[in-house]
Amino acid sequence: MRTTVPVAVAFLVATVLVISFFFQETTIIGSVAQNIRVWVTIIGGFTLLLGVVSITRVNWTAVVKKELDWGYKIFTLIAIFVTMIPSVLPSSLSPLFGRAEGSIYDWLAIYLNFPMQATMFATLAFYIASAAYRAFRARSAESTILLVTAILIMLWRVPMGETILNSISTKIPEFLETYIMGGANMSVQRGIIIGAALGAASMSLRILLGIERTYMGKG
């Protein structure tokens, strides 16, 4: 019973949402599908709250037991509540509450969250550059073409590099934009998107038919 009911609900909801694409919103099917989408948003809000409760419980347990790196988990808990509590309070109480410009949430986002994101992506860029250095070695004709193309694309994406390429020949940036980015790169991107879409459709079909049950905590 604990397995059959969730599978039946997932099957019925998925079937209604798929069929609703062929009907207008004014029909019964369209109205039911719209209500389902509203409930999905509501359930998503509860899952977000569940995530906050879960991460709080896990980190609090680690702090109480003084596990490895428990000091960092204290900062995690402080960050959660300092960010969450002012953002959910109404701005009518104070302009520091809510998520409007000038609020505590806005200040934390601009001066803490965004710089940390920039630092993380900057660090990731170094790892990508390191991986590119190891991968782009002219060991064969194919790798040499890949290396030269990658260098030209990186130069073209930087204003100084584009100026250098234009000083050599204005046809180089045009060639890169038309044949490399608009031709070879676009065809590869479309292949990846088609593969990802087929994978998503396959997974959706498995869930619809009750074959895939990992969302219930079972394989």
Do the Cβ atoms of 103 and 95 come closer than 8 Å?
yes
Asked if residue 6 is part of any domain, the answer here is no
CA distance 96 to 86: 7
Residue of 61, 62, 47, 111 whose CA lies nearest to 82: 111
Q: Is 36 exposed, middle or buried (0-12, 13-18, 19+ CB in 10 A)?
A: middle
Cβ atoms 56, 62 nearer than 8 A = no
State which residues form the domain around 182.
136-219
Walk along the chain (219 residues) and give the pLDDT tens digit of each residue: 677 788 888 888 888 888 888 888 788 888 888 998 899 889 888 888 888 889 999 999 999 988 888 888 998 898 888 888 888 888 888 888 888 888 888 888 888 889 999 999 888 888 877 777 777 676 778 778 877 888 888 788 888 888 888 888 888 888 888 888 888 889 989 999 999 999 988 888 888 887 877 777 654
Q: What is the pLDDT of residue 218?
A: 56
Domains contained in the chain, number: 1
Model confidence, pTM: 0.56
Q: Is residue 144 part of a domain?
A: yes
Instruction: Give whole-number Cα distances, 65 to 59, 60, 79, in Å.
Output: 10, 9, 20
**CA distance linking residue 52 with residue 37, whole number of Å:** 23
Please indicate, yes or no, if residue 166 is contained in any of the structural domains.
Answer: yes
| Secondary structure of residue 118 in the 3-state scheme | helix
Give SS3 for 26. coil
Choose among 69, 47, 48, 49: nearest CA to 59: 69
